[in-house]
Amino acid sequence: MIRIAVLVSGGGTNLQALIDSEQRGEIPHGKITLVVASRPDAYALERAKKAGIETAVVRRKDYASLDEHDQALVSVLKEHDIDMVILAGYLSILGPEFIRAYTDRIINIHPSLIPSFCGKGFYGLKVHDEALKRGVKVTGATVHLVNEIPDGGRILLQKAVEIEEGDTPEILQKRVMEQAEWILLPKAAAMISEQLDKEEDK
């Protein structure tokens, strides 16, 4: 069984989608055993506690450098024997040391169809705001492996979502979550955990 850590910064709706999916038996090779937040007031921590999942908080501002923050984060994950990492609305930047420690074992969900509206500075409502400003007719979400380039890792899954007349960034954000993010992220978690489980069996 692949032990999964989910990294969060906010409300944790994607975390909830993962927890629900796991409880339905849709991630048979993986188990969420840890939720790590970048801030102590992240509501995602409450969701984790309700589901009986261990939690930790690792704040970037508690460390003098990105390397020190990465080291602290890696040691928390190693203490919990974590095999795979899911970024679910995690807003802290991860440095090369962290990415090296979990090469091809970190997945992220991004609220657009990469390569559109992605990269440094594109997160949260800004992504949807830019999509509406550009007048695109279709947006969506992408799950990708994480490497050292923001949103630059190999694409695993994508799902398109129609943009509708009268959409605001907030309305669009909710539709992309419901129609794409909450479906794709558990699917990718199942896919990668199965792959890692098979590799470990070899």
Q: Which residues, at least 6 apart from 189, have a Cβ–Cβ distance to it below 8 Å?
A: 4, 18, 21, 27, 30, 84, 86, 107
Distance CA 85, CA 107 (A): 6
Please, which pLDDT band fits residue 92 given cuts at 50, 70 and 90? Answer: confident
Distance CA 36, CA 101 (A): 16
Residue tagged active-site, from 29, 110, 128, 144 = 110
pLDDT digits (tens, 9 = 90+) for 161-180: 999 999 999 999 999 999 99
pLDDT digits (tens, 9 = 90+) for 35-73: 999 999 999 999 999 999 999 999 999 999 999 999 999
The structural domains of the chain, ordered by start, are 2-201 (3.40.50.170)
Kindly report the pTM of this predicted structure: 0.95
Assess whether 110 carries a catalytic annotation.
Answer: yes
Distance CA 61, CA 26 (A): 36
